[in-house]
Structure 1
């Protein structure tokens, strides 16, 4: 173990980010006590397949596990699964757990991720689902096996992917979104219009620019949804996919700064020996200084490794975290991949392929500089645009690769 390294490290969140932290620490030679706390009873598992391969039945739950139990055991962890962290005392250097125990630390990594947002008044209603955990996905898959009329509330990644999977399973599907197009926030109108056409061709009924007011019920089970304009849509099953919120409530009164996530500096340090990684971490964008929080799988793994290195280096020698966010979605025969951050783009240019053939690369610009690149069924071509996103190239100066 390096001289001056903390002798006790606690990682809260047995997530992809949390796993990356503990693996990174051991890889860097850390031999001290290492505790991994997880609210779920499962070993760390991969979440992107929940709305894809697991929901469709192509994969079973075991395939989602990120590491075999033997590999986890080899990390020599004090593993606390199935018990949530409920409070943090930074002065004493202790985490209180839901089972009444307390775990001491010299350095702490927060990797508690996010939880699905819910429509008000839907707790305990049979047939209403969110999709964030393994149990969520298995419960929804069981309902979809009956080929119900599914109403999807929300047209983001989870909503659009679930609509596609449900149609493949033979379900009647209505997708309700407050945006003009499915995934319109991420893709913009041009590519979103194409995606809308694809969903329509596959039989999804799309209701765009619409907001759901509440879920209709009878006998404790969902029977449909009512929109804010008074229209109603009958349903047997409802999926609520309206985003996620960071799990930071347990940090109340701890002194750790929280807003939309754990507020960190550029090195992912939140002060008081506390670091953050993954969906819960908010850190300043290296170019704009604006706070950024990224809910993508690759970011979680990258940040976990960065936190491991910086924890061992200490705050004074820690290095800033820099990345190009990457996310993908599979819908029908489309593979949509995104480098960077498309939201807020004021300039979108298709630089290879085209909408008609549904094979393309588009460059997204903001304030004259490249902020993202999107590929549809052009994975190899898209990769060559990643450096332009990383360097925030002047959009007029970029050239087709």
Structure 2
């Protein structure tokens, strides 16, 4: 096995200063002018919320780390329900992490939920289905899928769910932080995007028949996963210190981690000498220094038609929401608003086209950005 020597500390520090200076010197334009929108608070007193989902009837679901469902109706009235997850593990970045409706929701009223299960030295990513009603919250939890390897770290779960249609789904699975080499190991589900059906079976015609749940590999901690109206899938993910990415996701592709990265270890040590590698996909957009991208949405709506087909990316470290434009050749970025300056966990678009931003932490809020009424 080839061993790569780390860069000398002084050289590495000099390179990072140059990179940081070039990035920080760039002043981003703001996409929405101040007179185009208003900001309102939908709900406060949220405790470590992880995701938002706008339901077909317009109700909003918020999944909170400790298993609490917050339901907000179209009159902004809220209900709170405690969901009993089997062996819910809430340390670090764990907990209840995502929720989406199943493809047959109109018939079955069932949702998909991702969460971390286990204990300190043995925990993993799990997907369940649950029966939803505005009166009772989520009940009748049933297992659907779980990753094939447990870990002893409370971080890097990924856990973002996406429907592909016809009761088939993807879920992102992080590398567990201390297990980054697993992102390139085919016998491990860590550091992968995984495909499954509502019954917990692999997708038809998987790209790796001997490892049928693996849709793509080489991921670190992917937390944004979207599909455009044309059916193209995009993913964003956290790099280490630098090297955050947006990628176009395709079945069977290798996205490089940890063989390829534009970031370095938190200690300053070099992770890899490669920023590109044959057979591995280059990112469409890279953030160095890190912004810590936490989620992503494709805008479709009438409230802000100038945003249609653009991506909105939320960030934890940068404490901003970004608008990403994609002309088919390159991606460019702007700030969504210069008024929203806080750690942002998730983003969604409601049925009116308003933008919902979920802040992060133990005193979090759900914020609504609406067009100014003329």
| TM-score (ref. length: structure 2) | 0.28
Q: Please tell me whether Structure 1 or Structure 2 has the larger radius of gyration of its CA atoms.
A: 1
Q: Is the strand fraction higher in 1 or 2?
A: 2
Q: Is the helix fraction higher in 1 or 2?
A: 1
| TM-score (ref. length: structure 1) | 0.27
